[in-house]
Amino acid sequence: MTVSRILGIIYKMKNNYIEIVFLFSIVVLCVFVRIIAAQFIPDYLIIDNPTYQIAANDLLRTGAISNHYIMPLYPLVLALFGGGEFAQVLVGLISGGITTILIWCLSRHIFTDKYVGLVASLIYALYPMAIFYGVKGLTESLFTLFLVAAFLSLYKYKIIMASIFFILTILTRPVTALFAPFIIVWFTI
């Protein structure tokens, strides 16, 4: 789902400005909470954080990742943002905000109730583990973004788009490699 498509959905709801204002407020809250949390969560708790920075810096210097145990998409995204710790926090903030909007879209599509979508996006915006993974530069924030986008595409019967998002989840974290084909087949039957 592209940004223009999300904006199109929001534009179609022009009669319901209050929901749009609440959604925007939730996204701002999501980003704000993550910025504050980035200042207080200690870095020594995470051993993967420097590994992704090194992989991103390897991509910037040599065009290849020297550690073959890392999936390539997250270091590539970090390299696009310049690598380093700031890039990790920035990617976490952006993916957290977009995931909040996608969760709202998915909830609206499944339940057709505007309050369910707002509550679901608020729960994600304030969920402690999502905040932690988003601000400490781990792959889970980007993985969650692609996974929610894949399920939103499946619920809208856009199988090719869902397949692309599942491939992106696999390139971020390989945990969906076994069940993604089964889920796609399940939704196409």
Q: Write the pLDDT tens digit of every residue in 107-149.
A: 988 997 878 989 999 999 999 999 998 888 888 999 999 999 9
Residue 11 pLDDT class (50, 70, 90 cuts): low
Residues 60-70: what's their mean pLDDT?
86
- The pTM assigned to this predicted structure is 0.87
pLDDT at residue 74 tops 80? yes
Largest CA distance in the chain: 53
Whole-number pLDDT of residue 63: 85
Whole-number pLDDT of residue 168: 95
Half-sphere exposure of 189 (CA within 13 A, CB side): 6
Residue 87 pLDDT class (50, 70, 90 cuts): confident
Q: Residues 152-158: contacts with CB within 8 Å, 24+ apart?
A: 152/1, 152/102, 152/105, 152/106, 152/109, 153/1, 154/183, 154/184, 154/187, 155/106, 155/109, 155/110, 155/187, 156/109, 157/187
